[in-house]
């Protein structure tokens, strides 16, 4: 038996063609490129700006999260074909220095336009404006790689880090906005400002859609709640405990009843729910507060939620509405762990924000692939219907293919042993064709 690297024009990322189809359908990179000024002489341009961004996003989705990887992928026939280039002739893809220059090129104003474009992409992903959406807002620790702009020591995480804000439409898994920020908890005024700008851009696309904002305790600030009430937006926020809440007669009575009933019935754990009207000194009015009371052999545990919703029982508000925000943690982990969006190692804060946007664009492409998988009618689709991005990458993107170029035709020959050939075929035939 002998082995050699002489198999011809092969790629190990044949599924990048699916990404090209998904990106063509959504137009993500073209929207982002339109936000950035290009001072180059058009007569001397080899790589269009949207193609530069497209190559970077495709590489991230395929697991090549560093710009350095583009040097090795410049002549990969699968990536060349995905960008509408002949697999064996002409200039290759943009190199790492070109990628790095464009990551550092956008100004703060252009970055704001790119963020608006990402929100427009989210709104355009719905075929029609929905009646209502619930948006989850949260931040995550992004450990820095040195003394970079916006880096800050965070005592809770014990790291020098960023705390970027992530906003998701959790019910559908759609990303809405990702904002790089310094590594400290946002103040009420800062959080209210971010939410106000987000809602303003969504309203331009969906003036009639009812919006509910959901977040944990450090987003339940008086400035945020006051803005939501003034803008006609519902909210469900966690509320830290304090002496006034612990002494509230309705909550005390419910807690005592829960503890007594647990002891009488001999249960290990028993839950009750209560609600009251509460107003802190910094609030301008009283608001509805829901308490989840849990009595166990270890003692009493009470959690609080403040909400603008007037309908629904206390149990429904907490267990069904508020606890559903736990799914956003899984989406953030998907964004960070499976797409490496914490590779924010640039010194410039603007460049790191560009990276966060590009990784979100890759998230969109894999989300679109997952939606097409769910639509595909095949016996083995069920195993991929709820698959994570890493599984989709392994099963549908990392597919070996031989690319054969003749005078009049380019033929892509995938491996005959591909276990997900039927799913791949179903997706490829429903998405728009890749650029030729």
DSSP sequence for 279-337 = --TT-SS-EEEEEEEEEETTEEEEEEEEES--SS-HHIIIIIIIGGGHHHHHHHHIIII
**pLDDT value of position 413:** 92
Fold of 108-236+325-338: Nucleotidyltransferase; domain 5 (3.30.420)
Whether residue 405 contacts residue 391, with contact meaning beta carbons closer than 8 Å, is answered with no
Mean pLDDT (whole number) for 169-186? 94
Whether residue 93 contacts residue 70, with contact meaning beta carbons closer than 8 Å, is answered with yes
Domain residue ranges in the chain: 10-104+351-430, 108-236+325-338, 243-322
Q: What does the pLDDT look like over 383-404, one tens digit per residue? A: 787 889 999 999 999 999 999 8
- Confidence grade of residue 231 (pLDDT, cut at 50, 70, 90): very high
Whether residue 291 contacts residue 244, with contact meaning beta carbons closer than 8 Å, is answered with no
Residue 358 to residue 175: CA distance in whole angstroms: 12
**pLDDT value of position 378:** 56
Contacts with 28 (C-beta within 8 Å, 6 or more apart), sequence order: 57, 121, 361, 364, 365
Mean pLDDT (whole number) for 138-152? 91
Please say if the pLDDT value at position 95 is more than 60: yes
**pLDDT value of position 382:** 65
**pLDDT value of position 6:** 80
Q: What does the pLDDT look like over 302-355, one tens digit per residue? A: 999 999 999 999 999 999 999 999 999 999 999 999 999 999 999 999 999 999
Please say if the pLDDT value at position 435 is more than 70: no
Give the tokens for residue 104.
């550092």
Percent of the chain whose predicted confidence (pLDDT) is above 70? 98
Whether residue 114 contacts residue 433, with contact meaning beta carbons closer than 8 Å, is answered with no
Whether residue 214 contacts residue 135, with contact meaning beta carbons closer than 8 Å, is answered with yes
C-alpha distances (whole Å) from 269 to each of 70, 250, 274, 299 are 55, 21, 17, 10
Within its chain, how far is the Cα of 91 from the centroid? 33
Contacts with 264 (C-beta within 8 Å, 6 or more apart), sequence order: none
Q: Which residue has the tokens 């696309």?
A: 205
Residue 348 to residue 281: CA distance in whole angstroms: 40
**pLDDT value of position 150:** 93
Residue 141 to residue 98: CA distance in whole angstroms: 29
**pLDDT value of position 319:** 93
pTM score, two decimals?
Answer: 0.93
Collapsed DSSP state (helix, strand, coil) of residue 132: strand
């Amino acid at each position: 038996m002998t082995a050699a690297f002489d198999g011809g024009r092969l790629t190990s990322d044949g599924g990048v063609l699916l990404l090209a189809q998904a990106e063509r359908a959504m137009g993500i990179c073209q929207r982002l490129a339109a936000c950035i000024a290009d001072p180059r002489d058009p007569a001397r341009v080899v790589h269009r700006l949207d193609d530069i961004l497209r190559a970077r996003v495709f590489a991230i989705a395929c697991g090549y999260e560093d710009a350095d990887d583009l040097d090795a992928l410049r002549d990969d026939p699968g990536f060349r074909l995905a960008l509408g280039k002949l697999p064996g002739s002409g200039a290759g893809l943009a190199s790492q220095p070109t990628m790095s220059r464009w990551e550092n090129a956008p100004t703060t104003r252009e970055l704001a336009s790119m963020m608006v474009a990402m929100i427009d992409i989210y709104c355009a992903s719905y075929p029609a404006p929905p009646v209502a959406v619930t948006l989850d807002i949260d931040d995550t620790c992004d450990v820095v790689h040195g003394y970079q702009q916006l880096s800050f020591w965070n005592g809770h995480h014990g790291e020098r880090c960023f705390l970027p804000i992530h906003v998701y439409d959790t019910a559908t898994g759609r990303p809405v906005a990702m904002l790089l920020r310094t590594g400290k908890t946002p103040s009420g005024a800062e959080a209210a400002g971010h939410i106000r700008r987000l809602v303003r851009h969504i309203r331009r696309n969906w003036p009639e859609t009812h919006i509910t904002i959901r977040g944990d305790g450090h987003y339940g600030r008086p400035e945020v709640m006051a803005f939501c009430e003034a803008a006609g937006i519902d909210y469900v926020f966690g509320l830290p405990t304090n002496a006034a809440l612990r002494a509230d007669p309705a909550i005390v009575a419910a807690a005592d009843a829960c503890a007594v009933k647990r002891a009488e019935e001999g249960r290990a754990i028993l839950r009750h729910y209560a609600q009251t009207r509460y107003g802190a000194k910094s609030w301008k009015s009283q608001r509805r507060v829901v308490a989840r009371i849990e009595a166990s052999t270890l003692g009493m545990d009470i959690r609080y939620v403040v909400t603008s919703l007037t309908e629904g029982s206390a149990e429904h508000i907490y267990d069904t509405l508020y606890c559903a925000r736990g799914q956003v943690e899984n989406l953030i982990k998907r964004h960070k762990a499976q797409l490496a969006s914490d590779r924010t190692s640039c010194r410039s804060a603007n460049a790191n924000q560009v990276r966060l946007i590009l990784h979100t664009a890759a998230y969109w492409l894999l989300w679109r692939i997952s939606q097409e998988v769910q639509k595909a009618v095949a016996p083995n689709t069920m195993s991929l219907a709820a698959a994570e991005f890493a599984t989709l990458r392994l099963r549908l993107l990392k597919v070996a293919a031989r690319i054969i170029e003749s005078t009049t035709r380019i033929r892509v020959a995938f491996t005959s042993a591909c276990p997900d050939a039927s799913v791949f075929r179903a997706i490829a035939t429903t998405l728009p064709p890749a650029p030729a």
